[in-house]
Amino acid sequence: MDEARVENDSNQEQRIELELEKLNVNRTIAVECWYTLHMKLDNYAPAKNLLKQLDHIHNDLSMDKDGERQEFQTAVDCLSRLTIDFCQLYTK
């Protein structure tokens, strides 16, 4: 009975590790997108706040392993709102 329990715990631990690996952010893609957005929008004044928030997430929050999940989510929500505002302004 104990062997089955240990094997079950081990299998569950492996499944959790695989799920966590799937959730890891691919920093290579993030960096490429960051550079592309900066190349295209750095000299466009209406994008200033959007890029500032993007930099905050990219440089400060995403590299902080001990960071608060809620703080990160709040920053992402703010970035989403700024992106929507920018797109609406850009398409007028």
Over residues 16-61, the pLDDT tens digits come to: 777 767 666 667 888 899 999 999 999 999 999 999 999 999 888 8
pLDDT band at residue 5 under the 50/70/90 scheme = low
CA distance 66 to 61: 9
**14 has a pLDDT exceeding 60:** yes
At 62 the pLDDT is 77
Q: Angle at Cα 15 formed by Cα 14 and Cα 16, nearest 5°?
A: 90
At 70 the pLDDT is 85
At 61 the pLDDT is 85
Mean pLDDT of the chain: 84
CA distance 40 to 25: 23
66 with 33: CB under 8 angstroms? no
Task: Give residue limits of the domains in the chain.
Answer: 26-90
pLDDT band at residue 77 under the 50/70/90 scheme = very high
